[in-house]
Structures are given as C-alpha cells and as structure tokens.
Amino acid sequence: MTDSAPAVVLSADGPTPAQVSAVARHGAAVELDPAMLAHLARVREQVAALAAGDQPVYGVSTGFGALADTPIATSRRTALQRSLIRSHAAGTGPEVEREVVRAMMLLRARSLAKGHSGVRPVLVATIAAVLNAGITPIVHEYGSLGCSGDLAPLAHCALVLLGEGRARDAAGQERPVPELLAAAGIAPIELTEKEGLALINGTDGMLGQLLLALADLEELLRVADVTTALSVQGLRGRDEVFRPELHVLRPHPGQAVSAANILAVLDGSAILADVRREASRVQDAYSVRCAPQVAGGARDTVEHARTVALRELAAAIDNPMVLDDGSISSNGNFHGAPVAYVLDFLAIVAADVAAIAERRTDRMLDKARSHGLPPFLADDPGVDSGMMIAQYTQAALVAELKRLAVPASVDSIPSSAMQEDHVSMGWHAARKLRTAVANLRRVLAIELLVATRAIDLREQAPSPAAAAAIAVLRRAVGGPGPDEFLAPDIAAAEECLLDGTVLAAVEAVTGPLR
C-alpha cells in the first residue's frame, strides 16, 4: 500500500522521526532486519525458560495491575494474555486518526524490536504485515491515562493481530477483521506468555502524536515567519528590528533564525523602502516588533521537545523487561511523564504563536492602526464588512488554543485499585496538541488572507518572496473586491498551507528557510 516513500527497515536502532512520518502518513512499507529477528528469537528462549519455572514473574505467571500477586497456572497463561487484550480494549468516543494509529503500531513494533520485551519475532512481523496491508485498527479517543503505557489504544491495535476487534482497509472501509487478515495472507496470532502485556505496555500513542506534531510545527513556524513578513508589509512596518546584529545580543538560537527568515522574506520590498524614507514612526507595535522573540522561543521549545522525542524513540518501553543478563525485572519506564510534559509545552507554543498572529491581523483591519488601509479591508466600507468576521474566527480559534494550553500532565487520577496511583495523562496532552496544531494552521491561514489583501491595497510592490506567496494564494482566492462567501476562502488558504505550496513558493525565492 506504499506511496512513493522508500521502505523503512525496522531494526533494533530505528526508525527515525522522518521514517515514522513516512509510514504513518505516506504508507511507506516496513521491512524487517534479519539480525533483529534473530536476536528476538534468542531473547524469547530466555523468557520461555523463566515461564517454565516456579519463580513468579509479573505478566508471565501472574495477573496484571492490582492482580499482580495472583498466580496463574501454566495451563491458563495463554488465556491470560488473550483476556488481557480483550479486557483492555475498552476505549470509547470518536475514532483516532489513521496516521496516529499507524504511528502507534510502528512504534510498538520498534520497542519490541529492541529485544527487551521477550516476544517472539512473529509479533513484530505481524505488526509490519498489518501496516503494509493498509489495515488500520479502529482506536477510540478515550481510554488511556498515559501510564502503564497507552493501554486501551494499544489493546485495540493488538486485538486486530488476534483476528478480533474492528479495523478498516486501505480504502478506509470497515470490514470484518478475519476477512481483512485473510485477504492479506496474515495469520492471526496466538499469544504466549508475556506477549499480550508487551503489545500494550508502551508510550507509543503519545510518542507517535508528538513526532507528528513536531513535523507539523517545524513547518508552521516557518509559515509564521512568512505571514509575519507579509503583515509587516501590509502594515507598512519597519524592518530594522530584524537585523542580525540585534539578535546576537540576546543569543537564543530560535530568535536569530526567526529574524533571519523574516528578513529574507522582506528582502526587496518597495513598500518597506518607502517606509524607510518616512520619519513619522520610530517603532512598531509588539506584535510586529517582537515576532522573532515569540516565534524564536517557540522554536527553542520545539527543539527541547525533539530532544525528548528522540530519547523516547531510542527507548525500550515495557514492564517487566528482559535485561541483557537474561533476568526479568519490573520497572516504571512506561510512565509517560517526560513525553507528557513536552506535549503540554508545545500546546503553549501553538497558542502563543497564534495569539501574536491574531494581533497582527487585527491591526491590519483597524483603520486607526493600519496606516492608510480601509476599515476591515472592505471594498465599500459600510456596505461591505471585508475581513471583519475573519478576525472573529481567528479570535475564537485563539480562545480555544488558550484552553488547550492548560496542561494535562499536572492531573492524575489513580486507577487499578490504587496500584497505579499516579498517571501522566500524556495521551490527553497529545490529543489536545493535535487540535492545537490544526487551529494554529487555521489562524495563520487567516493572517495570510488578510495580509495578502492588505498588500494588494498598497501602491508599492511587495518583496519578491511575498509576491510569490500572493500568486499561489490568488490561484485559489480572489483579491480585493466586494464581499463574497468568506468561509471557502479561509478553507482554501488553509489548504495552501497544508499542502505546502505557499511555503514552497516563498522558498523558491529566498532559499530554504530554517
């Protein structure tokens, strides 16, 4: 079911963040490293030997959670693993997006591939086969507390490996799971000791969403620099504040990058050349002048989150875990706190970058602050309302983003009869971050709409990079004129950001933005 994305080889060392996106979003095939499979087989022999002994081992010869001290007879241990998956597949609410489910499955296979879970190679091979067939388990939004892993979401995925549960085919059609597996030539798994627990005890759901959000935010922060530069020209702002000499004086790396991006997009603007000849205005408002400081702080936060994501991507997450000496030890590595914190940090970033963009938009619509633009950029103010309500929509999105910025990771609800008495809520942090990222894109799309119209209403020419952005948008959205149905224009602008065409047009002029 691959697109043009190259295959991803799953080994004990992979995948990379880009490879996770390739599998999750672009259908890249998953191949298995033979050395990794051989290592899994050797580790599995150690687990099988422990399972045959008398020593109690959590999840192998005992129950789960608060039932950890309940011994399970050898004859019932296969049923134990199957029952675990069925009982833990207890999610509810809307379906989780396909790309999230695919990322989650790949990341669970990645953790198992490191050889510290003691599963048979067939488990990893079956996950890869399901991904390659385009089969997507139906996972629900609610069910994970982000501790002991993303139990319910991963259990819904694991249930499909057993030939049960619910799933969709590559075309998105729900079909009976046995039929989907049979059509792909995949045999349902019969779980043995520890394997059910190993399939669900990980942070893969929250990590997958973190990796996807990082990819989106990296692009959206470049977009924010572009829309800032468009707004600076729409507002007849001053470009001196983006000079590199100023930003070395406060050596936050993201700030310097943002300022350089904005300056590159402004290069060659006749509008700003005309502004430099004025002596009436010494400096611009904060939403213009401080844009690099806000977007730069956002970049630095993204870099911190990326560091955490890479560490988690290198981790083996399970409980218990098989150590290199062959022993099995209980642990708390499944706790989602490190991932949950940065998911919350990024929701704050999305809210603030959106908030400053909305303030720039509002300035362009206010005749008292826009330096010569008509009220609300209307064609016939009074008869026409222009972009007035587009700013309302932006404000509504920013208000929602502020609510989404309230951290989930400070909450905890005890579970499993107080055995699991502190949880991370990382899954909740991830779900709200996905909404925040989408809303940030919508806010920037509206700034793009307003700024390009403001530039079109000026007498001087914009910078070549700004002109390239306007040309792309004008293929989908008309320029200044009488009021028309505005919602499709907002949707079209959002699509131009989602498909990357505006950013690509700008970078064709400026070179790659950072």
Half-sphere exposure of 410 (CA within 13 A, CB side): 5
Q: Helix and strand tally (H, E) in the chain?
A: 20, 9
Which amino acid is it at 497?
A: L
Instruction: Give the CA angle between residues 181, 185, 188 to the nearest 5°.
Output: 50
Dihedral, 358, 360, 364, 370 alpha carbons, nearest 10: 150
Measuring CA to CA, how many Å separate 121 from each of 15, 39, 125, 396?
17, 9, 6, 50
Phi, psi of 9 (to 5 degrees): -90, 120
Nearest-angstrom CA–CA distance, 203 and 223: 30
287, 345 contact by CB (below 8 A): no
Nearest-angstrom CA–CA distance, 461 and 456: 8
Considering the candidates 58, 142, 341, 392, report the single residue annotated as catalytic.
58
Which H helix or E strand runs over 390?
A: helix 388-404
Place of tokens 């910025």: 405
Cα dihedral sign, 364-368-372-373? positive
Closest C-alpha among 13, 11, 10 to residue 315: 13
Half-sphere exposure of 493 (CA within 13 A, CB side): 27
Q: Which ranges in 184-252 belong to alpha helices (H)?
A: 195-200, 204-234, 244-247
239, 261 contact by CB (below 8 A): no
Q: Which ranges in 423-510 belong to alpha helices (H)?
A: 426-456, 464-474, 487-498, 501-510
In our burial notation (b when 16+ CB lie closer than 10 A, e otherwise), range 391-429 reads: bebbbebbebbbebbebbbeebeebbeeebeebbbbbbb
Cα dihedral sign, 373-296-408-494? positive
Active site annotation includes 392: no
Nearest-angstrom CA–CA distance, 305 and 34: 32
Tokens representing 175?
Answer: 């079909």
187, 125 contact by CB (below 8 A): no
Nearest-angstrom CA–CA distance, 80 and 119: 15
437 Cβ neighbours under 8 A, 6+ residues apart: 213, 216, 217, 220, 350
Q: What's the longest Cα–Cα distance across the chain?
A: 88
Q: Which residues are designated catalytic?
A: 58
